Amino acid sequence: MLLSIVSCNTSKMAIPSRFAEAATRTSIKGLTGWMINQKISFGSYKTSAINKGWTTGSSRILNQVYSELLNIGMRQSTENTDGRYSFILNNGAKAAEIFCQTNLSSEQTDFIIKRKWATTISNIEKVDYAFSATIVPLTSTDQESWQLLVTKNYDASKDTTRKVKIFNIPVAIEEGVATNGKESITIRPIRINKITKKNGKESKLPFKIRSGYELRMDDGVVCIINTYDNELWMYNDLDENTTFILASIASALMLTP
């Protein structure tokens, strides 16, 4: 189990050579394209059709003012969204049913400017996001369920990194863990800040975008989920049960918004 992934600087995720030499890469299929009866697969792992439940949401305007003289307005609002989905992961030898849930709560301020055309500038004030999953084994030899939780939090009032808060992109604190009560796996996001254009030239973004996750055990990377390039890297020196649990966690994370 080797090396931590540091934020990448190219459109392709930089996989440490020592880890790549000791890991197996597989392509992830099904993350893009036709989403009705969506299925994903990577290596010997395949999911059933993703059973997507209802997504519920609500929004509320907290405060709203507008100046007819200046044609400038401000609106403060909150939004709450909950979503659920589930699926079965199978590799021919083992199977598990995975139940997932997302919860998002956000507050933002919109600045509305009406001149020749209307312009709205949104400023995120607060974000609380939680992704949870339960992995239930369906194979008779596997008895222990796993619980997964990833949280993302942002509070503009505590953000000291943004000098101009209306225009700078906020970076939320994101962290996660999966556990069966005895063992634990740490989940860390990976972000990149450059993209490659069609002409092959690199372009630097003013902010970093999430490009995947790394899964860690005993402070070493054992799995890399690269959703930017749709690939998964799995450390080779792992037993069958650990590999299946990592694949189950990875499949749940692949589908997160």
Q: Per the domain annotation, does 83 fall within a domain?
A: yes
Which residue stretches of the chain have pLDDT < 50?
Answer: 1-10, 164-168
Q: Per the domain annotation, does 8 fall within a domain?
A: no
Give the pLDDT confidence score for residue 7 in this predicted structure: 41
CA distance 15 to 25: 11
Q: Per the domain annotation, does 90 fall within a domain?
A: yes
- The pTM for the full model equals 0.79
Give the pLDDT confidence score for residue 6 in this predicted structure: 42
Give the pLDDT confidence score for residue 235 in this predicted structure: 96
Q: Per the domain annotation, does 154 fall within a domain?
A: yes
Domain residue limits at 36:
17-254
Q: Per the domain annotation, does 4 fall within a domain?
A: no
Q: Per the domain annotation, does 6 fall within a domain?
A: no
Give the pLDDT confidence score for residue 159 in this predicted structure: 66
CA distance 72 to 201: 40
Handedness of CA 59, 60, 63, 69 (dihedral sign): positive
Q: Per the domain annotation, does 196 fall within a domain?
A: yes
Give the pLDDT confidence score for residue 185 in this predicted structure: 97
Length, in residues, of the chain: 257
pLDDT tens column, 25-52: 999 999 877 778 899 999 999 999 999 8
Q: Per the domain annotation, does 236 fall within a domain?
A: yes
Give the pLDDT confidence score for residue 116 in this predicted structure: 61
Give the pLDDT confidence score for residue 198 in this predicted structure: 63
Residue closest to 80 by CA, chosen among 129, 133, 116: 129
Structural domains of the chain, count: 1
Answer for the pair 64, 75: CB distance below 8 angstroms, yes or no: yes
Give the pLDDT confidence score for residue 46 in this predicted structure: 97
